[in-house]
Structure 1
Amino acid sequence: MSHLLAFSGAASAAAAVILAAVLAVALPPPPAQAQDAAPIVATPEGQLQGVPSKGVLSFLGIHYGADTGGANRFLPPAPPPAWGGVRVADRMGDRCPQPPVNMPPEMASVLSFSDLPTSEDCLVLNVWTPAVADNAKRPVMVWLHGGGFFLGSGGDKYYEGSNLSRGQDVVVVTLNHRLNVFGYLQLGAEAGPQYADSNLAGMLDIVAALKWVKANIASFGGDPDNVTIFGQSGGGSKVSTLLAMPSAQGLFHKAIIQSGAAVKVGTLEAATTTRDKLFAQLGLQVGDVAALRALPTDTLMKAGARAGLLAYMPAVDGETLPTNPFDPVGSPLSAGVPIMVGSTKDEATNVVLSDPTWQTMTEADLTTRVGGIVGPAEAANTIALYRAQAPNDLPMHLYTSVMTDMMFTASSITLAERKYAQQAAPVYMYKIDWNSPVLGGKLRSPHAVELPFIFDNVDVSAGLVGAGPEQNAMADLMSATFAAFARTGNPSIPGAPAWPAYTPQTRETFIYDVRPSVVADPNGQLRAYWAARAAQPEPAESPIQGVMDGKKFE
């Protein structure tokens, strides 16, 4: 296999120590110590007092928009109300409405979601900064959380921004925005022109947050002219979508798309079908938005959740979202924005961890499941191709390798190719090969494995990545390269292999592992296989639909 394998035992620990020592020269000097006295920052809405947090300052639960409930439900975000006096910004705001996730014990031990309260007054953001009012003009990194367009929040523990802010001298912002039925319900012309953007309300929330950053972040020690948006999974899809939205242009200058390259988004036809099913389920006439607005938050959330995670997403409407982000070509709106894009080696192991039959798959099971992805006639050929790459893999891992490439790897490469074709700004490709030791190592390099490393939060993420010198070295490497890209538009750092921009001619890809490397066209035979299949019809049902459908939610 062309990717590097993770080391184990003493050799792994030794390599991690060496890498950490080398990377020490790459890290920026420590920022000035956060002020002893918690500072007060003035915003147009009122004054905010920050609090010390691990050597930096945090400003939590800042409202960038008004309450989205009641008469504001389904409408574009409105400005937040002003307040008098000084507001102490010492706690995160509510999550946006979403159903609880029923995770089996193993999955619950690996993945963690915030348990903060939910409400429709949820348009809040959090800021971590080394210092304020010092004219430092630090790079600003605005994080968009995962969970599809359906669940999640900027308050999950993986995203706590203190260590990234302190270690890399950057300003970190995380935010909440409307989700699921509240943020992505296509109400249609029957509802009236004021609801024309209901299917994009959640995306317009993010645009409003970015406008807040542009107007205010200089007061928090950041540079409004050097803003990077980055996100993983659903967050990566949100980053992709913003690249094609006219209202977002000029609000960010670089973009990082992690395991969520949205070459295409939804259609109005599919969104309208979801709407019709919801109204029928509730016994309402299509267009009766007054009745929909009158429903209690929990009632509407539960009804919407029955459609499943994949039913809610932005749809191209020709105006607010004129085109798909990268189909058939990259949106010209963001041609000049440098991009980092990539995925992990074993994304799908986390996707199927809730499936009790995954680990006991037989050869017959493998053939059936792969046939559901590529068609029964092609299953044997696909399995043979993957088995040639990994002859010792059990059916469980051959299956997740196929799923990973179909769901994540292929779209990341397509996006990189179409970005390159614009010939206006570079695109940098990465792949994460580092294997997590948790659950006996069966997850390998799963979906979300990079989150503790980018935010340098290994200390609270042992359930996902374990702990030790290897994990600390990976955090040093990933936080430094991501911050370097945010700072300059180039992720290369001293002490690590030079990271060239991606081209279809050489396909050079940075491999994140204990010993990082740059590989030309990693797993090229598999890449070519999926490229050849790209024009073929997709199966009627996505192979992940059964894992992510409404049965997961209460």
Structure 2
Amino acid sequence: MIGQPRLDMEDLIGVSVTSGHLLGRRVGEVFAFKGVPYAAPPVGALRWRPPQTVGAWEGSRLALEFGPAPVQDLPLRTSLIYRLGHDEPRELAMSEDCLYLNVWTPVASAAARLPVLVWVHGGGNRVGHGGQDLFDGANFAARGIVVVTVNMRLGALGFLAHPDLIREDPLGAAGNYGVQDVLHALQWVRENIAAFGGDCGRVTVAGNSAGAATVTHLMAAPAARGLFHGAIGQSMAGAFRAEGSMMTLRQAAEAGQSATSSLGATLEQLRDLPATAFLGVNQQTVIVDGRLLVEDTTEAFMNGRQSAVPLLAGWNSAEGSLYATSQGLSSLQIAGYPSDIRAQVAELYPNASTAAWHDDRRRLVGDRRFAYPVWGWVRTHTQTSDAPSWLYEFSQPLPLPEGLPPPPDGGGEYGTFHTAELPYVWDNLDARAWRWTSEDRNLAGLMADIWATFVTHGDPNTGGMPVWDAFDAAAENHLMRLRAGPAIGPTIGPAEARQAFDVFDKLFPGDIAVQS
């Protein structure tokens, strides 16, 4: 057809899902199905409603290109977070009609029954999408797993509560629409992944940053029980948060009404606005909404009400370098801590509050905002369930491109910054034309092998992988340090910030440190 790319029919492969027939394409050793709709477009009357079942189509639907990304404002093009995560050769198409997923599989046959990885991207629930180059699933799928990457609603379109939304909802719930999208995608996987060679009884849900927080919330969500059988969280958690307790539905609704009042007085008016009108509205975090979550996620884990699935989680060694500034620590709400805890924090990070840049500020931001929530997640999951956990720290320095601005805290180097692990975990170093070394490539291959092994077996130790003891807060060797060279393996001692973690434990009610 004129204007359409030429299709080599020998490279196409068809599968049938509940909504119709799909045509994917062979890509090297695997088959890729891109832009697969998993829910109805959340537009018009479906804006700020739970995701709905996608309608059926007639004939064969081409699944050769990624679907539109959610509407978003991308990071500054000069920033490191853009250069690593968003510097793509193609122009990014965006739309409110964004609920699409992508599948890579080595064998598109229902008889294969391969383990499945479902990936939730990061980006603060403001930016990102499942079609980012870093998340190309071909290299993972070639290791014998089916890979699914998911788009979700972002910003105020995905995370907003409002009194009128509560009134119109049958459960009297509102908010968390983006996380509900991921839950709906997992339900789609349960119903359809066999057609792509996957086993719906061996699904691991994984994510980094806000995506890892989403994984935590899904573990706490009653509606997600049984939809996944393993979990991976990278550099964030939805429990033990630096922001403190999650907002209640009432608090979120009042905040949402205030945030949108200048745009419209009624839901009808707000739903008539273009999606871009909400780019300037601060979206809420995940809340106790009454539909997806019925209690604070931290409370769910402390009381053992989470899904008891194997967990692999960790952080990077310089998480704070992108977020610490020379202007203070208000984002960590240190001033609101009890006086005894403030004193202990000041003793552990003595220069964190001074005007000049110091490593202490970066360490405090990284430890409290990123590492400690992961530590609390893993430690509490181990204590309150029978499921094993494994904890890592990634500390490989990246060969950064030229022309980057200095870190916001004035430090000379970024270190192993937040999201730095992504090209290694996905074995996708070539997604960025940086000066990767053979050591980088070896480490990327090893990390992707470890992650794929965990997805396959629920344990990262099988298949000749480096010995990695399951987490035990009372033991010395409970942290895997991942870095090129001979240092790959269990550490000699515990996490370096363990003393600080014990202090942060005091911010949360309950006797969560008894078994530490």
TM bracket (short chain): 0.7 to 0.9
Whether 1:481 and 2:443 are equivalent positions in the alignment is: no
One-letter amino acid of the counterpart of residue 47, structure 2: R
Instruction: For residue 91 of structure 1, report the CA deviation from its aligned partner.
Output: 0.3
Which position in structure 1 is the counterpart of 2:374? Answer: 412
Whether 1:298 and 2:270 are equivalent positions in the alignment is: no
How much is the aligned-residue C-alpha RMSD, in angstroms? 2.9
One-letter amino acid of the counterpart of residue 342, structure 1: G
Whether 1:289 and 2:267 are equivalent positions in the alignment is: yes
Distance 1:73 1:195, change over 3 A: farther
Contact in 2 for aligned 1:55/1:130 (Cα 8 Å): yes
Whether 1:437 and 2:399 are equivalent positions in the alignment is: yes
Contact in 1 for aligned 2:453/2:463 (Cα 8 Å): no
Secondary structure in 2 matching 1:247: helix
Whether 1:83 and 2:57 are equivalent positions in the alignment is: yes
Distance 1:283 1:76, change over 3 A: closer
Question: Which of 276, 287, 308 is the equivalent residue of 1:336?
Answer: 308
Separation in 1, partners of 2:450, 2:24: 28
Which position in structure 1 is the counterpart of 2:361? Answer: 399
Question: Which of 168, 179, 185 is the equivalent residue of 1:192?
Answer: 168
Contact in 2 for aligned 1:436/1:443 (Cα 8 Å): no
Whether 1:468 and 2:468 are equivalent positions in the alignment is: no
Question: Which of 481, 504, 507 is the equivalent residue of 2:473?
Answer: 504
User: Within 5 Å, which residues of 2 pair with 1:24-43?
Assistant: 37-43=11-17
One-letter amino acid of the counterpart of residue 420, structure 2: V
Please list every run of 5 or more consecutive structure 2 residues that lacks an aligned counterpart in the other structure: 1-8, 241-245, 403-411, 509-516
Secondary structure in 1 matching 2:52: coil
User: Within 5 Å, which residues of 2 pair with 1:452-467?
Assistant: 452-463=423-434, 466-467=435-436
Instruction: For residue 45 of structure 1, report the CA deviation from its aligned partner.
Output: 1.2
Separation in 2, partners of 1:281, 1:213: 40
Q: Could you say which structure has the greater relative contact order, defined with CA pairs below 8 angstroms and 6 or more residues apart?
A: 1
Contact in 2 for aligned 1:480/1:493 (Cα 8 Å): no
Contact in 2 for aligned 1:506/1:520 (Cα 8 Å): no
TM (norm. structure 2) is 0.84
Whether 1:55 and 2:24 are equivalent positions in the alignment is: no
Separation in 2, partners of 1:71, 1:498: 53
Contact in 2 for aligned 1:348/1:400 (Cα 8 Å): yes
Separation in 2, partners of 1:454, 1:239: 17
One-letter amino acid of the counterpart of residue 174, structure 1: T
Q: Which moved more, 1:115-124 or 1:375-384?
A: 375-384
Instruction: For residue 219 of structure 1, report the CA deviation from its aligned partner.
Output: 0.9
Contact in 1 for aligned 2:175/2:289 (Cα 8 Å): no
Which position in structure 1 is the counterpart of 2:483? Answer: 513
Secondary structure in 2 matching 1:334: coil
Which position in structure 2 is the counterpart of 1:227? Answer: 203
Distance 1:69 1:54, change over 3 A: same
Which position in structure 1 is the counterpart of 2:157? Answer: 182
Distance 1:536 1:249, change over 3 A: closer
Secondary structure in 2 matching 1:135: coil
One-letter amino acid of the counterpart of residue 257, structure 1: G
Which position in structure 2 is the counterpart of 1:96? Answer: 70
Which position in structure 2 is the counterpart of 1:242? Answer: 218
One-letter amino acid of the counterpart of residue 87, structure 1: R
Whether 1:528 and 2:499 are equivalent positions in the alignment is: yes
Separation in 1, partners of 2:129, 2:473: 36
Identity, in percent, stands at 29
Per-residue deviation, residues 351-393 of structure 1 (Å, max 9, x unmatched): 35xxxxx6xx6xxx7xx559976459988975774589xxxxx
One-letter amino acid of the counterpart of residue 310, structure 2: P
Q: Which moved more, 1:200-209 or 1:61-70?
A: 200-209
Which position in structure 2 is the counterpart of 1:277? Answer: 258
Secondary structure in 2 matching 1:225: strand
Whether 1:422 and 2:399 are equivalent positions in the alignment is: no
Instruction: For residue 325 of structure 1, report the CA deviation from its aligned partner.
Output: 2.4
Contact in 2 for aligned 1:62/1:93 (Cα 8 Å): yes
Separation in 2, partners of 1:198, 1:279: 15
One-letter amino acid of the counterpart of residue 151, structure 2: N
Which position in structure 2 is the counterpart of 1:125? Answer: 101
Between the two proteins, the alignment pairs up a number of residues equal to: 474
Separation in 2, partners of 1:372, 1:262: 15
Separation in 2, partners of 1:347, 1:81: 42
User: Within 5 Å, which residues of 2 pair with 1:211-226?
Assistant: 211-226=187-202
Which position in structure 2 is the counterpart of 1:109? Answer: 83
One-letter amino acid of the counterpart of residue 187, structure 2: K
Distance 1:113 1:204, change over 3 A: farther
Separation in 1, partners of 2:81, 2:122: 16
Instruction: For residue 533 of structure 1, report the CA deviation from its aligned partner.
Output: 3.7
Contact in 2 for aligned 1:144/1:230 (Cα 8 Å): yes
Please list every run of 5 or more consecutive structure 1 residues that lacks an aligned counterpart in the other structure: 1-34, 353-357, 389-393, 538-554
Q: Which one has a larger percent helix, Structure 1 or Structure 2?
A: 1
Distance 1:532 1:71, change over 3 A: same
Distance 1:242 1:379, change over 3 A: closer
Separation in 2, partners of 1:80, 1:344: 38
